[in-house]
Amino acid sequence: MSSPASIPPERKVPFLDSTPLLGDPPALQARADEDGFLYFKRFLPRGEVLALRAEMLGVVERHHWRQPGQDALGGRINLDALNLVPDERMRSDIGVSIDAYDDAQRLEAVHRLPHHPRLLDFYRALFGREVLVHPRHIARMITGHRVVSPTPPHQDFPLIQGTPGTWTCWIPLGDCPRSMGGLTILKGSHRQGYLPIQPSKGAGGIAVPLCPGEVLWAEGDYTTGDIITFPSYTIHKALRCVDKELIRLSLDVRYQPVDEPVEQKSLLPHCELTWEEIYAGWDRDDLKYYWENLPLELIPWEDRYIQPSRRIC
């Protein structure tokens, strides 16, 4: 690994909208093979995305962290009030307290939006077969609390394991310009396969040390309804939020071919609640334990993927 001083400065390129390729799976796969990601403008209905945003901001409101005088979609928080939450009661990977995150995980819409027909149809076409939606959704509520750091460059594979054919879909819940700390992608990084990791601050707690020449980052300003999706070997990171009084809301959702292995913890909640506790109060039953009806090949977690090791450039 070369010293940080020898790494060239980052180069940035804009996202390329892949919407014109919808309906042409070979073209989508070719672009994904080249770039390591696919970006779509206004893929999801704006109203459905904003409805979930309002519900998540309602959680923030109930915990007394929203500044007064905003409409239901306003994301300006009282950082002084949030910073009263002790460090040990925070989900530093999420941005709010453990209790608030449990409340967000109870929201039916957090678990229903990932099953939107447009998403399911897209991944069926991309994979060429039936899709498993991992039930372990991550609802990011990124704030400027002192324990929260931007997500470092990393691959998702060490954190979710199972098949390398798992794709992440990152869904911003509202407009997310670069100044709010949106996701950025290291173009072409998926071609290297699994890469060694080091401990790091930020969501996931791991980072891939970058080599000289790994400097070409794709980024852009997200608008409501946009999505970006990528396979689990693609290196990505979050930009730093400029305004610490704004909360950044988003979902991390995983999709994979149903006939490929899935690591068992991907079927557990992304919090300490049980599924029964999450489901209490839901209006509909159709998404409860849906994966139990699928012919899944479950495989165990492997610690070797999260053991720090030196990357040789």
Map out the domains of the chain with their CATH numbers. 4-306 (2.60.120.620)
Q: How far is CA 182 from CA 95, 115, 200, 269, 285, in A?
A: 14, 23, 19, 24, 33
Distance CA 39, CA 128 (A): 19
Distance CA 218, CA 248 (A): 19
Distance CA 309, CA 131 (A): 33
Residue 69's contacts (CB-CB under 8 Å, 6 or more residues apart) are: none
Per-residue pLDDT of the chain (313 residues; tens, 9 = 90+): 444 445 578 899 999 999 999 999 999 999 999 999 999 999 999 999 999 999 999 999 999 999 999 999 999 999 999 999 999 999 999 999 999 999 999 999 999 999 999 999 999 999 999 999 999 999 999 999 999 999 999 999 999 999 999 999 999 999 999 999 999 999 999 999 999 999 999 888 999 999 999 999 999 999 999 999 999 999 999 999 999 999 999 999 999 999 999 999 999 999 999 999 999 999 999 999 999 999 999 999 999 999 999 999 9
Distance CA 156, CA 302 (A): 14
Q: Which helix (H) or strand (E) holds 160?
A: helix 157-160
Looking up tokens 């400029």, which residue turns up?
Answer: 242
Distance CA 4, CA 140 (A): 30
